[in-house]
Amino acid sequence: MSRSNARQSLPTHEVTNQPPERGDVDLWTSDPVLRDCATRAGARATPLAAYGAALGRAETRDAGHDANLHPPELCLFDRGGRRLDEVRFHPAYHHVMDLSQSAGYASLAWDGEPGGHATHVAMVYLASQVEPGHCCPLTMTYAAVPALATNPELAEIWRPKLTADTYDPAPRPIREKRSATLGMAMTEKQGGSDVRANTTTATRDGDAWRLRGHKWFCSAPMSDGFLTLAQAPGGLTCFLVPRWLEGERNAIHLMRLKDKLGNRANASSEVEFHDALAYQLGDEGAGVRTIIEMVHHTRLDTAMAPAGLMRAALSEAHHWVSHRSAFQRRLIDQPLMRAVLADLVLDWEGALTLGLRVARAFDGDTAEDRAFARIGVALAKFLSNKRCPVVAVEAMEVLGGMGYVDDTPMPMIYREAPLNGIWEGSGNVICLDILRSLARDPLAAQTVQAELDAATGADRRYDAALKAHRDRWPTLPPEAEARWFAEATAHLLTAALLLRHAPGAVADGYIATRVLGESGRVPGSVSGLDTDALLGRLSG
């Protein structure tokens, strides 16, 4: 039954002062900031417009809610006791997977047309607003393509399936499928991020290998294959492990599904390889160098997803305050509420702007583009993910008690907010990577400095802050200051982009509060923001 038929006159009271259902909300046309940033990054408007409209339909948002309400189930055996090692999902999950894979989420970056990575990452931003869990397998499928290029024979079989614009969840060998997804199984109990401490072994078996060992985290265990690391005689090596073999299931045993804080529509598991068949990718002993291409591209998605989560949280909060009154005034008209939301807008717009600038570098073909992509994605990932939980909890608080109830999407957004900061390198790992990149690659440092210098002369406060930053760190900082350095550099980089491309109210507010620190440490502890202009960024 349509929500519009819900009864408003109840036996004990009349339902008033409650925001109406949002209905269909076109996520592309209702977001002018996205459209501007996407155009500047060279993204393709046509597929984004279609995807944003489809995601924003009420029925799609309902499917996203149902996919989280009914999480995946682990099915280890059939009723006769034969091993299945399958993960089964609610139909709502398959609905959003089909929508996104058919839209080109995992494939557009590799079709040879301009702006592929920017278009892809804009889709990440859009999908994260509705159901972020299903992004995990599709992001890894997108990111695995360059790693597969190290083995042309495997790439010939797998790449067409990974880049197909169709969804095929059937448990069948790769040659029998219309499309495929890839997962990742890297970390182990004893090492975590230190993958060189992995103990899984690889033993030669003709042209293939046999893997034996465990993986503490296997992302998306229902995928058709996995990239993993194991110790071969020549050292840590990267392998492709197919989920299904011709006529049998590969010896990948799912031990349990992780009971996670969020990302509940997506399955994450512990697995064991019991002499599982695998194929080598890259040179023996060069496993980290091979799989880092996949990690590099997944980091782009983890840098953009928090911008989508922030947008979703702010959209819900803005809808609420626009239709609810307290103390004889609409909430949206109350100065303190406007200050809080306007302050949060700066984090969202900054994250979106920086993320799509980095995506443009992924699409570039020069040495400078590649260098900026390496350092820029780490800076964006660090800063945007540190701000995302703050924005989520403040937006939740705007709704009061309803924000804490799963009738609204706010709890899902809040539970999701920490994930991308943990995945593909938590904060300390990312900051150390930033220092290593700047130390090893002079061109990376030069590209960042060029972006920062491009905005000089537009605002004396920015110029002074940039000089102070360089005076504070004339060389790379000591390790203990890596977070401070990364945060300050990312804020300056974001401010430089906003100065060049955003309205004056956005750049001015960002410099005052994020670069100069003319604010308190909690959102809304600000003065002098142009709240009309900033809140207008939410609604166009």
Angle, vertex CA 105, rays to CA 102 and CA 108, nearest 5: 95
pLDDT at 1 over 60: no
Give the global pTM: 0.97
Q: State residue 468's pLDDT score.
A: 98
| Block residue for tokens 């060998």 | 173
Which band of pLDDT confidence, cut at 50, 70 and 90, is reported for residue 540? low
pLDDT at 184 over 60: yes
| Number of neighbouring beta carbons within 10 Å of residue 247 | 6
Residues 6 or more apart in contact with residue 137 via CB below 8 angstroms:
97, 181, 182, 183, 219, 220, 222, 223, 266
pLDDT at 26 over 60: yes
Q: State residue 196's pLDDT score.
A: 87
Mean pLDDT computed over 275-302: 95
As a whole number, the mean pLDDT across the chain is 96
Which band of pLDDT confidence, cut at 50, 70 and 90, is reported for residue 246? confident
Mean pLDDT computed over 386-408: 97
Q: How far is CA 436 from CA 238, 384, 427, 478, in A?
A: 23, 20, 14, 12
pLDDT at 174 over 80: yes
Strands, DSSP E only, in 149-287?
Answer: 182-185, 201-205, 208-219, 225-232, 235-242, 244-245, 248-249, 252-257, 268-281
Which band of pLDDT confidence, cut at 50, 70 and 90, is reported for residue 4? low
User: What is d(CA 346, CA 387) in angstroms, rounded to the nearest whole number?
Assistant: 10
pLDDT at 474 over 60: yes
Q: State residue 194's pLDDT score.
A: 87
User: What is d(CA 374, CA 297) in angstroms, rounded to the nearest whole number?
Assistant: 10
Mean pLDDT computed over 423-437: 93
Q: What is the dihedral of CA 321, 326, 329, 332, to 10 degrees?
A: -20
User: What is d(CA 529, CA 24) in angstroms, rounded to the nearest whole number?
Assistant: 31
Using one digit for the tens of pLDDT, what is the confidence trace for 84-115? 999 999 999 999 999 999 999 999 999 999 99
Which band of pLDDT confidence, cut at 50, 70 and 90, is reported for residue 193? confident
Please say whether the beta carbons of 540 and 494 come within 8 A: no
Q: How far is CA 349 from CA 397, 446, 515, in A?
A: 20, 25, 15
Q: State residue 112's pLDDT score.
A: 96
| Block residue for tokens 């339902």 | 15
pLDDT at 331 over 50: yes
Mean pLDDT computed over 423-444: 94
Residues 6 or more apart in contact with residue 173 via CB below 8 angstroms:
242, 244, 245, 246
Mean pLDDT computed over 300-317: 98
pLDDT at 2 over 50: no
Please say whether the beta carbons of 95 and 131 come within 8 A: no
Q: State residue 30's pLDDT score.
A: 97
pLDDT at 144 over 70: yes
Using one digit for the tens of pLDDT, what is the confidence trace for 500-511? 999 999 999 999
User: What is d(CA 502, CA 495) in angstroms, rounded to the nearest whole number?
Assistant: 10
Q: What is the DSSP letter of 401?
A: G
